[in-house]
Amino acid sequence: TGSLAVVATPIGNLGDITERAVAALKQADLVAAEDTRHTGRLLQHLGLSKSMFALHDHNERAQVETLLDRVEAGENVALVSDAGTPLISDPGYIVVRRAHERGLRVLPIPGACAAIAALCVSGLPTDRFVFEGFLPAKAAARRSRLEALEDEARTLVFYESPHRLMATIDVLVSVFGPERPVVLARELTKAFETLYAVSLGRLQAIALADPNVSRGELVLVVGGAAEQVNSEETLLDTDRLMRRLLQELP
């Protein structure tokens, strides 16, 4: 019989595709993708031409049985999202759940995930953490979600979009206080990769002063309730270009 492979793809740098992901895509009879044009470009980069199946938040429930009928009929289906690991703030949960209910084979092809990449370079405790995904879009709901997390001792990981970053930092400062440590991880694995490891209050000031801070793809990693900022606040700017330029200076 066929199988459903949950295949991680890069979060920016195409070099992060794994050998097993390439093999799974090569062997797939069908590629279920969030955005078929986006995934089409990845397949083209890999020199592959594949039948595709559009699977996004708006049709996942309606399409799940059709997709799984094909696995049951013996096809190998590769499930991918636009970037990183499917199901992590991306479609796929309904399909994987139903695949188990239907007794179908589900196999993981692990790889990049922005949350894990950001957490692991944050310098904040990694032994226990909570992934919160995107905060609610509406201001009242986002505040109450954060209020519920006020005493959370584990490191918190959030995804955020550029146009909401400033508002989210403002409410983080107001709920968690300006002293709480935070790491803003921007454009991970890409040309303008930058890490800001500061306090919430300092991040607020930095983001206000420089609109570039909120550009691109962003992960916020927030220290748990008991975390203190290092006495010497550090601003880790890993913008590769800047580092290289600085190295050139006498």
Footprint on this chain of ligand SAM (rule: CB under 6 A): 11-12, 81, 83-85, 88-90, 113-115, 159-161, 185, 187-190, 217-219
Q: CB of residue 234 vs ligand SAM: minimum separation in angstroms?
A: 20
Is the Cβ of residue 6 or residue 198 nearer to ligand SAM in the bound state?
6
The two three-digit tokens of residue 124, written as one number: 């904040």
* Strand 155-160 relative to strand 129-134, pairing: parallel
Q: How far apart are CA 180 and CA 178, in angstroms?
A: 6
Partners of residue 181 on adjacent β-strands = 199
- Give me the residue whose beta carbon is nearest to ligand SAM: 84
How many whole angstroms separate alpha carbon 161 and alpha carbon 85?
A: 18
154 or 190: CB nearest ligand SAM: 190
Toward ligand SAM, which CB reaches closer, 102 or 171?
Answer: 171
Could you give the CA distance from residue 231 to residue 192 in angstroms, rounded to a whole number?
28
For residue 159, the minimal CB distance to ligand SAM (Å) is 3
CB of 57 to ligand SAM, least distance (A): 10
Q: Which is nearer to ligand SAM, 32 or 188 (CB)?
A: 188
User: What is d(CA 195, CA 221) in angstroms, rounded to the nearest whole number?
Assistant: 11
36 versus 102: smaller Cβ distance to ligand SAM: 36
- Rounded least distance, CB 212 to ligand SAM, Å: 14
161 or 212, CB closer to ligand SAM?
A: 161
Which of 182, 117, 194 minimizes the C-alpha distance to 155?
A: 182
Measured between alpha carbons, how far is 82 from 100 in angstroms, rounded to an integer?
Answer: 24
Shortest distance (Å) from residue 165 CB to ligand SAM: 10
What are the E-state strand segments in the chain? 3-7, 30-33, 52-54, 76-80, 105-109, 129-134, 155-160, 181-186, 194-199, 218-222
To ligand SAM, the closest distance from the beta carbon of 86 in angstroms equals 7
